[in-house]
Amino acid sequence: MYKILNKRLLAPNIYLMDIEAPRVAKSAKPGQFVIVRMDERGERIPLTICDYDKEKKSVTIVFQVVGSSTKKMAALEVGEYFMDFVGPLGQPSELVHEDLEELKKKKIIFIAGGVGAAPVYPQVKWLNSVGVKADVIVGTKSKETLILEEEMKEVAGSMYVATDDGSYGFKGLVTDLLKKLIDEDKKEYDLVVAIGPMIMMKFVTKLTKEYNLKTIVSLNTLMVDGTGMCGACRVTVAGKTRFACVEGPEFDGHEVDFEEAMRRQGMYKTEEGKKLLEDQEKAEGHKCFVGLDGEE
């Protein structure tokens, strides 16, 4: 059993929790994720690691209520327990393995969509700790749904916000904002890291392809075990089948078959959910798509 040490409502339906998990806290690295299970009859849900503290033996997760399991999670209070909390899973961000001097020369921009700000945060924080200031774009529906703004500002170089309704920062999509930064503000980047709903990552890679700009994405596929034993999370990358839970979740965005990944992600959606996904597809970037999909 894994104790909830802290709980905070970041935005409507978006929660942050610190969970006591000494082994995970000790081994976690930016880019990795955990799998949680609420109770005896619960399902296993993958969630990205947002932060970790070896001393406090705690791991921070951020989740959005999108279904019955996340609803159950949101109902738990400080002092209560998660039945299972396993990790860290997946490969750490490639940045962790890079030569520090090389890394310091790089101009990196992170693009976070909705709750994707949570998995972006540990990477930006880690870069800051080794002396690299990365820029960050956070895209969200409105000012009200923006999360982790203060935390991010503290560790980022420049922090930009894009809201669909223009209630805060730039009005429009993250892709429009990136385009503006490069075209109008003459910003130069060597690397883009995009984390958020699949459809957002797809459109980011479509745009960065035009600029021939290397882009890493973190795929939130369906998962069961998260250890490579089932292949529920399989995706096609550069024409090859890869297991996101073991070989990912980060891949070169220009090599990912997003159509297939999005289709597979919707496999267990209810009829209603499937319709939502279809509508999103139809909207193809003309409407807001950020925040419709959570971590599930």
Q: Is the peptide bond before 30 cis (omega within 30 degrees of 0)?
A: no
From the list 263, 275, 283, 284, which residue makes contact with other proteins (rule: CB under 8 A)?
263
Burial class (CB in 10 A: 0-12, 13-18, 19+), 67: middle
* Distance in Å from the first CA to the final CA of the chain: 22
State in angstroms the smallest separation of the CB of 178 from other proteins: 29
- 9 in helix, strand or coil? strand
Q: Which residue number, 184 or 271, has a Cβ lying nearer to other proteins?
A: 271
**Out of 3, 7, 13, 44, the residue judged to bind other proteins by CB under 8 A:** 44
| Least separation in angstroms between CB 95 and other proteins | 19
CA nearest neighbour of 82 among 23, 18, 33: 18
Dist. CA 23–CA 45, nearest whole Å: 19
Figure out which of the listed residues 6, 267, 283, 284 binds other proteins, where binding follows CB under 8 A. 267
Residues 63-82 that bind other proteins (CB under 8 A): 68-69
CA angle (71, 33, 5) in 5-degree steps: 55
Provide the minimum distance between the beta carbon of 61 and other proteins in the complex, in angstroms, as a whole number.
Answer: 15
Tell which one of 12, 27, 53, 279 touches other proteins (CB under 8 A): 27
**Selected range binding other proteins among 40-48, 102-110, 137-145, 187-195, rule: CB under 8 A:** 40-48
Instruction: Dig out the tokens for 172 from the structure.
Output: 């429009």
Identify the residue among 74, 103, 224, 276 touching other proteins (CB under 8 A): 224
Binding other proteins (rule: CB under 8 A), the pick from 56, 84, 176, 180 is: 84
Q: What b/e readout covers 9-37, taking b as 16+ CB neighbours within 10 angstroms?
A: ebbebbbbbbbbbeebbeebbbbbbbbbb
Single out the residue of 140, 264, 289, 294 in contact with other proteins (rule: CB under 8 A).
264
For residue 149, the one-letter residue type is: E
Query: What is the smallest separation between the CB atom of 66 and other proteins, expressed in angstroms?
Result: 14
Please state the closest distance from residue 248 (CB atom) to other proteins, in A: 14
Q: Helix, strand or coil for residue 162?
A: strand
Place of tokens 């159509």: 259
CB of 232 to other proteins, least distance (A): 5
Q: Is the peptide bond before 249 cis (omega within 30 degrees of 0)?
A: yes
User: x/- binding map, residues 169-208, to other proteins, per CB under 8 A?
Assistant: ----------------------------------------
CB atoms within 10 A of CB 1: 9
* Number of residues forming the site for other proteins (CB under 8 A): 38
Q: How far is the CB of 39 from other proteins (least distance, A)?
A: 9
Residues making contact with other proteins (CB under 8 A): 23-24, 26-27, 37, 41-44, 68-69, 83-89, 224-225, 227-232, 234-236, 241, 246, 259-260, 263-264, 266-268
